[in-house]
Amino acid sequence: MTGAPALAKVAVLISGRGSNMQALAAHAGDAYEIVVVASDKPEAAGLAWALQAGLPTFALSPRGIGKQAYEAALDAALREAGAEWIALAGYMRLLSDDFVARWRGRIVNIHPSLLPKYKGLDTHARAIAAGDAEAGCSVHLVTEELDGGEVLGQARVPILPGDTPDTLAERVLAAEHRLYPAVLADMVRR
Interface contacts to ligand GRF, rule CB under 6 A: 14, 16-20, 46, 89-90, 110-112, 137, 173, 176
20 belongs to an annotated ligand binding site: yes
138 belongs to an annotated ligand binding site: no
- Please say if 124 is a catalytic residue: no
93 belongs to an annotated ligand binding site: yes
- Measured from each CB, the residue nearest to ligand GRF is 90
CB 117 to ligand GRF: min, Å: 14
Cα separation, 11 vs 30, whole angstroms: 16
61 belongs to an annotated ligand binding site: no
Which residues lie closer than 8 Å to 48 by C-beta, 6 or more apart? none
Closest to ligand GRF by CB, 61 vs 68, is: 61
CB 108 to ligand GRF: min, Å: 11
CB 112 to ligand GRF: min, Å: 4
Closest to ligand GRF by CB, 112 vs 149, is: 112
Return phi, psi of residue 37, to 5°.
-110, 120
Closest to ligand GRF by CB, 173 vs 182, is: 173
Long-range pairs, 140-145, Cβ under 8 A, ≥24: 140/108, 140/109, 140/111, 140/115, 141/105, 141/107, 141/108, 142/86, 142/88, 142/95, 142/100, 142/107, 142/108, 142/109, 143/100, 144/97, 144/100, 144/101
Which is the catalytic residue, given 27, 111, 124, 177? 111
Cα separation, 147 vs 137, whole angstroms: 12
Closest to ligand GRF by CB, 65 vs 146, is: 146
Cβ-contact 37, 44 below 8 angstroms: no
Nearest alpha-carbon partner for 48 in 17, 94, 86? 17
CB 176 to ligand GRF: min, Å: 5
Active site members: 111
Binding residues: 18-20, 67, 92-95, 109
